[in-house]
Structure 1
């Protein structure tokens, strides 16, 4: 049976969106079964870790917190909400490339943020502001820092959607009134920026990955919209 289509050929669940949701759901179920056997090779580790691999810049975005179903659920819901229009507009191949580049860019920005954070802590230690053993802290960073989730790539999708539909209104719980997408996107970016530069309020969230995804999304969609042609293949 063929795909159900709306008027004008619009697909409510286009193929890349559908397959991304399926793959992410299957990977989440696999994490429940295999746990560290998947996390160790596929999560994005701190670049100084012996477990770090370049492929993790892609693989990490297909993993989610196995203990939190809503991490997966809301990521996939937002992907469908905002990505569907982009895939229908650009086509499957172009949208997939856009999504992957946003996710890779998000991972790269998070790796840079990890290194900057480590350098800041080390400088405080060297200045006598912190009584911490450098080797112990570095070892802790290597062991503890690992990033999973599609949030960075999805922030890129939201950025692309916002650029193309800045005045699209949506309801955001618990606000009782609609808000334009351009204002919602600015709010999300500011929240992530605040969380990123204030680790005490970060809550274990990779805020700089979110910001990196949004940055790459904006840059890519500007390039694509300017050229108005299939730039990436």
Structure 2
């Protein structure tokens, strides 16, 4: 995915920097060293197993899976680059607090939707494969960041495959269709790539942004109403004047 787009990246912001540090530290220290060389079953405990979440209530996996990656360097490298490219500018715009709320909402929301859809697929088809195949990686949260880029900076021009210019909102829509088509051709569990989790990140990001917009409107209405209560009309009927009445705050 990183070969398809060219963004002007923002400086490495506080939350993005620490997310990258934590992800790389978990991957290298716990997965590569402890699991790869010392054979500690770290991934089997903290990866997302839909069956374990739904039936054994190992709900920490809804969060912990976001910090695990495969032993392939390209997996964590591309995810961390995308986290930086898409996330730093959003953190600058939103602030660290809401950026983290949004990031984890996308990641956890992607995991929840993935578990529910895999469970529904298992009930409909009788296939239990999706329930026992682990999911790891920050891609669900990263696709949520990609959606926010398309909504907020939708008119910005990016270069698809470094050659074809298109608006960011169209690029995001195209990437969503690619994930949907890939899932349809590879199955719900997605083979080696959990396309359903990517789509879950997009859906979760959209829902989170809708809640943000709703709370912003409610806050604006509340402030406008309170301001209106503090205004009083002062009219002096004894003095004739062509000037409009004055409001005092």
Q: Return closer, same or farther for 1:107/1:200 CA change in 2, 3 Å cut-off.
A: closer
CA drift of 1:52 comes to: 5.9
Residue in 1 that maps onto 2:116:
112
- TM-score of the two chains, using structure 2 as the length reference: 0.74
Question: Is residue 167 of structure 2 the alignment partner of residue 180 of structure 1?
Answer: yes
Higher-Rg member (1/2): 2
Q: Report Cα offsets for 1:125-159 as digits up to 9, x if no partner.
A: xxxxxxxxxxxx64x5554x110000000111111
Residue in 2 that maps onto 1:55:
60
Higher relative contact order (CA 8 A, sep 6+): 1
| SS class of match (2:51) | coil
| SS class of match (1:12) | coil
* Aligned match for 2:203, one of 206, 209, 215: 215
Q: Which runs of 5+ in 1 are unaligned?
A: 1-9, 123-136
Q: Return closer, same or farther for 1:108/1:204 CA change in 2, 3 Å cut-off.
A: same
Distance 2:42 2:118 in 1: 22
CA drift of 1:200 comes to: 5.8
Q: How many residues align?
A: 204
Question: Is residue 31 of structure 2 the alignment partner of residue 31 of structure 1?
Answer: yes
- TM-score of the two chains, using structure 1 as the length reference: 0.79
Residue in 2 that maps onto 1:196:
183
8 Å CA contact retained: 1:23, 1:62: yes
8 Å CA contact retained: 2:141, 2:201: yes
Q: Which runs of 5+ in 2 are unaligned?
A: 1-8, 220-249
- Note the 1:42-81 alignment, pairs <5 A: 42-48=46-52, 53-66=58-71, 68-81=72-85
My pick for the range that moved more, 68-77 or 176-185, is 176-185
